Amino acid sequence: MSPSRCLYFILKKSFTVNYYLVLLVSVIIILPLSLLKNLGHLGYTSGLSLLCMVFFLIVVIIKKFEIPCPLPMTDHVNETLLNITHHSDNTTTDDDTCRPKYFVFNSQTVYSIPIVTFAFVCHPTLLPMYEELKDRSRRKMQNVANVSFLAMFIMYLLAALFGYLTFNIHVKPELLHTYFKYFKHDVLLLVVRLAVLAAVTLTVPVVLFPIRTSISHLLFSTKDFSWIRHIIITVILLAGTNTLVIFVPSIRDIFGFIGASAAPMLIFILPSAFYIKLVKKESMMSVQKIGATLFLILGFFVMFGCITLILMDWISNSEVADQGH
């Protein structure tokens, strides 16, 4: 048996017991990292996570020029293309398959805005990061934020662009699943999948840190630091995260709903409301206050509009599932 097939069957066997694997990784890797007292200690793991995502981006770009269009006709691809042709009103030609479209509107489009919004929610980690800076200042923190946002925007844009140009109409909501569907025995893609799993795993402690800090300041601001309380809060948060991972069928639903509810609050609504309320020296007719007001209105529009459309999509999918049974 070739090494690629061995690695594939090992991964496949692991995913058959994915619930136990999630718990094992949570206890052995995520929990010890999440128990660290200072965010600065996670700098090395964050750097490794970033390198994994850079590796993922490089492979996505390389595969764009390696994978032919139309896709190679394997048994799985034949079945997929037959299903697409059967459910389509028009005949799909090779030219249509390989021609990228500037805009695609379907039932999944409603998830795009919340997911993009959620991808740029870094606000909870700003204050903990500011506390870890040496010779910290407002300008230095602004430079850190600008570089971080620009780097992530470029990575997201290139990964999405080259991923879509590789598969065009056959691209799936989760890009890695698209590669795995058509090229299951590609060693490089299997390594990329492991790298992305490592990146996501190492990101969890960074995300849990500001949540735990906020809870501690909210409920125990007058008390001294306690390792027992620190561990209990961390375990509860990690247990809740594992519950979502195990029982929610698709990560798209989590990203979509949180991106439609919490993300607009953090990005649009709360900053605008705080600026309007706290900055007294400017009148409501100033350019800054008018801009903040428009930003506030945009936040409510994005939040309620996306939540409504997502709930409608869930209801329609449940009705289709019931009819299928």
pLDDT at 321: 58
Position 90 confidence tier, pLDDT thresholds 50, 70, 90: very low
Percent of the chain at pLDDT > 70 equals 80
pLDDT at 175: 79
* 322: Cβ contacts below 8 Å, ≥ 6 apart: none
71 DSSP assignment: P
**What average pLDDT does the segment 254-267 reach?**
76
Q: Is the pLDDT of residue 123 over 60?
A: yes
Three-state SS for 143-211 is: HHHHHHHHHHHHHHHHHHHHHHHHHHHHCCCCHHHHHHHHCCCCHHHHHHHHHHHHHHHHHHHHHHHHH
The C-alpha atoms of residue 282 and residue 276 are separated, in whole angstroms, by 9
Q: Is the pLDDT of residue 267 over 70?
A: yes
Q: What is the pLDDT of residues 8-35, one digit of tens each?
A: 454 444 444 567 777 888 888 888 888 8
Q: What is the pLDDT of residues 220-260, one digit of tens each?
A: 878 888 888 888 988 998 888 888 777 766 666 677 777 77
The C-alpha atoms of residue 236 and residue 186 are separated, in whole angstroms, by 39
Q: What is the pLDDT of residues 106-122, one digit of tens each?
A: 666 777 777 777 777 77
pLDDT at 6: 53
**Of 64 and 120, more confident:** 64
pLDDT at 65: 86
pTM of the full structure: 0.70
**What average pLDDT does the segment 203-213 reach?**
83
The CB density around residue 16, as the number of other CB atoms within 10 Å, is 9
pLDDT at 23: 80
**Of 108 and 37, more confident:** 37
Q: Which residue has the tokens 């449940």?
A: 318
